[in-house]
Amino acid sequence: MGFEEEDTEARKRLETTLDELLEMTPDRLTRSDELGTQLGFAHGTPVFRRTLSLFRELREADLTGLPAQLIVKLQHSAQEAVNSFKAVLTFSPGAAGQTNPEQVRDQLITNISKQYVTHFEKIAPILSYTAGTRAAVARFESRTQSVIKQLEALYTENEERGTAILNEANETVAKVRQAAAEVGASQHAVHFMEEAGRQDKTRRRWLLITSSLGLATLGFGIFNVWYYVAHAPLLTTAQSIQLGAAKLVVFAVLYFAMIWAGRVYRAASHNYVVNQHRQNALSTFEAFLKAAGEDQQTKNAVLLQATQCIFAHQGSGFGGQESETQSSPQILEIIRSVVSGQKE
């Protein structure tokens, strides 16, 4: 059982006990008609009334926010009061072993009076809490109603002014959105700056690798020329052919490794330049828009060029005869179709 179900069940038990208790009215508890004025409980009526009044206030209070542990304590107090009042209702002067009925009756009233103190100590803080909550809710409701009335009056008196303010606000929002879009485009230049930095590091690394392979190839070639000149008279024709073939394979591998590393270096350099170009284009985008002023056609042209700079196809740098296609007509058609769709 969860906490919420436990609290609900505890409140139900408390309410059942309180309903049983409040059925015992002071008139029933006096029992003057049954026991007469001498043995009746008429002089205990004030004690009965204040005890029942205390529990009646508890029954009318909103105990929704109380935890189950406190509700259980309240239920025990209510059950104790029920048992005490039942003892009053079942009191019989002629009960077996009872020699002094008046003393037993007075003791029952005294017990209820003493129990009232304990009941009060448990219930009074709860009633204070619920009373404060009710007062706060009432004040909040009153304040809310007052504010609602003021807002309704203000809206009625200034409906036309409110419409004008709303239109002005919409225009301001539109301008802010446009400005945010313009500034936002230039802020994205940082992505290309980071990519240019990575490509710069890559090209420097491959430049070192290419230079190392070139020096190794050159050194290998010089060494072989020296070795052949120095040892040619000592080698047979077959040995010369075998040694030449082996050296040719090694030289070819070094040569092609150098060529491949050079191509990677060239591609990295190409990508570095492309990303730098895109960074510079986006960084100056906002300045050109401001320079265009209210000329919408110029703004569209600047936007078109910025879009082309970002999305147009760029060669990878690996192909020696790569053609960098111009995609501005396609981008222009896309923008025109978007604008036409918005107008429709």
DSSP class per residue in 30-76: H-HHHHHHHHS-GGGHHHHHHHHHHHHHHHHS--TTS-HHHHHHHHH
Residue 197 lies in a domain: yes
Residue 268 lies in a domain: yes
Domain boundary among 114, 135, 154: 154
Percent of the chain residues past pLDDT 90, beyond the cut:
3
Highest mean pLDDT among 151-155, 163-167, 236-240: 163-167
Q: What is the mean pLDDT of the chain?
A: 75
Domain boundary among 154, 171, 200: 154
Residue 164 lies in a domain: no
Residue 319 lies in a domain: yes
Residue 43 lies in a domain: yes
Task: Quickly count: other Cβ atoms within 10 Å of residue 158's Cβ.
Answer: 12
Distance CA 62, CA 232 (A): 114
Kindly state whether residues 209 and 95 are assigned to the same domain: no
pLDDT at 70: 86
Kindly state whether residues 238 and 308 are assigned to the same domain: yes
Residue 167 lies in a domain: no
Question: pLDDT-derived band of residue 338, with 50, 70 and 90 as boundaries?
Answer: very low
Angle between helices 3-22 and 45-60 in degrees, nearest 10: 150
Tell me the average pLDDT across 72-87: 90
- When divided into structural domains, the chain yields a total of 2
Kindly state whether residues 145 and 47 are assigned to the same domain: yes
Kindly state whether residues 26 and 109 are assigned to the same domain: yes
Kindly state whether residues 26 and 144 are assigned to the same domain: yes
| Helix, strand and coil percent figures for the chain, each rounded to 5 | 85, 0, 15
Domain boundary among 108, 137, 154: 154
How many degrees, rounded to 5, is the angle at CA 328 between CA 327 and CA 331?
90
Q: Residue 64: which domain range? A: 3-154
pLDDT digits (tens, 9 = 90+) for 142-155: 667 766 776 777 77
Q: Which residue has the higher pLDDT, 106 or 186?
A: 106
| DSSP state letter for 284 | T
pLDDT at 103: 86
Kindly state whether residues 223 and 145 are assigned to the same domain: no
pLDDT digits (tens, 9 = 90+) for 26-43: 888 888 878 777 778 888
Percent of the chain residues past pLDDT 70, beyond the cut:
67
Kindly state whether residues 196 and 150 are assigned to the same domain: no
- Alpha-carbon separation of residue 56 from 75, 87, 103, 200 (angstroms): 13, 20, 29, 85
Residue 115 lies in a domain: yes
Please report, as a single letter, which amino acid is at residue 192: F
Kindly state whether residues 194 and 140 are assigned to the same domain: no
Q: For the chain, first and last CA: distance in Å? A: 60
Distance CA 150, CA 308 (A): 56
Tell me the average pLDDT across 338-344: 51
Evaluate whether 254 touches 216 at the Cβ level (below 8 Å).
Answer: yes
Residues 6+ apart with CB under 8 A from 314: 274, 324
Distance CA 83, CA 70 (A): 20
pLDDT at 286: 67
Kindly state whether residues 259 and 131 are assigned to the same domain: no
Tell me the average pLDDT across 65-87: 87
Tell me the average pLDDT across 75-86: 90
Question: pLDDT-derived band of residue 83, with 50, 70 and 90 as boundaries?
Answer: very high
Q: Which residue has the higher pLDDT, 131 or 211?
A: 211
Kindly state whether residues 122 and 194 are assigned to the same domain: no
Task: Quickly count: other Cβ atoms within 10 Å of residue 188's Cβ.
Answer: 16
Distance CA 285, CA 113 (A): 88
Residue 172 lies in a domain: no
Q: Taking the C-alpha atoms of 259, 261, 264 and 266 in order, what is their torsion angle to the nearest 10 degrees? A: -60
Question: Residue 137 above 60 pLDDT?
Answer: no
Kindly state whether residues 58 and 202 are assigned to the same domain: no
Kindly state whether residues 95 and 142 are assigned to the same domain: yes
**Residue found under tokens 């609900």:** 8
